[in-house]
Amino acid sequence: GAVVSQHPSWVICKSGTSVKIECRSLDFQATTMFWYRQFPKQSLMLMATSNEGSKATYEQGVEKDKFLINHASLTLSTLTVTSAHPEDSSFYICSASHPEQYFGPGTRLTVT
Amino acid sequence: QKEVEQNSGPLSVPEGAIASLNCTYSDRGSQSFFWYRQYSGKSPELIMFIYSNGDKEDGRFTAQLNKASQYVSLLIRDSQPSDSATYLCAVKVNRDDKIIFGKGTRLHILP
């Protein structure tokens, strides 16, 4: 149990476009999901906490208008990177509480 | 500020030996403690969690918690090359709070 999926697993997009990443809890309901970003050879960085039915809580320094988070159901949270730039290229990982945090497989984003 | 400290390594351990990974945390109110394993290019995988003082064993893994010393450790017995990875220590202050991660310890099991 406690399986979390992400889609897509990798995506390449052009600078200025938007990309949506989905995070799903497959065998449990998650009122809280988390979005992380990890650059190569660096540690995990928490971007935001996503709560079902309410606004996400963003960490200091994370632009909420650039990284749009929607948690419309107990099994799905989405992260949209708007107007992506090459510096947004990273490994984006979600996790869901059950009650321990279980991570999805991650989405590798490359912005050209 | 809540902090979780780990030695970055790399920690090199011969195959078959015991690997010992250590972690300290700053917030005395911390209640839940986790160890994640992360292979290069992959997402973290939860391998152990512990809530009470003492030892918790699961297969080749043993987590040890000492709240008085604000110290948590992970022992891996009979280390295998497949155990080579980065191990992340994580701490949660209360049930609904986010997890604070350490920067991880790179473990290298020598064949």
Distance from CA of A111 to the nearest CA of B (A): 18
pLDDT per residue as tens digits for the range A61-99:
999 999 999 998 999 999 999 999 999 999 999 999 888
CB B109 within 8 A of CB B97: no
Residue A63 has phi, psi (to 5 degrees) of: -80, 115
Confidence of residue A1 (pLDDT cuts 50, 70, 90): low
Residue B95 is predicted with a pLDDT of: 61
Rounded mean pLDDT of chain A? Answer: 94
Q: What is the number of other CB atoms lying within 10 angstroms of the CB of residue A3? A: 14
Interface test with B, best of A33, A51, A101, A110 (most B CBs within 10 A): A101
Q: What is the token pair recorded at B93?
A: 């202050």
Residue A65: partners with Cβ closer than 8 Å, 6 or more residues away? A82
Location of structure tokens 């003082």: B53
Q: What is the number of other CB atoms lying within 10 angstroms of the CB of residue A104? A: 27
Residue A52 is predicted with a pLDDT of: 87
Q: Three-state DSSP class for A86?
A: helix
pLDDT in tens, chain B (111 residues): 779 999 999 999 999 999 999 999 999 989 899 999 999 999 999 999 999 999 999 999 999 999 999 999 999 999 999 999 999 999 998 766 689 999 999 999 999
pLDDT per residue as tens digits for the range A37-58:
999 989 899 999 998 888 999 9
| Chain A residues with CB-CB distance to B44 below 8 A | 44, 93, 103
Closest CA to B15 of B59, B79, B75, B76: B79
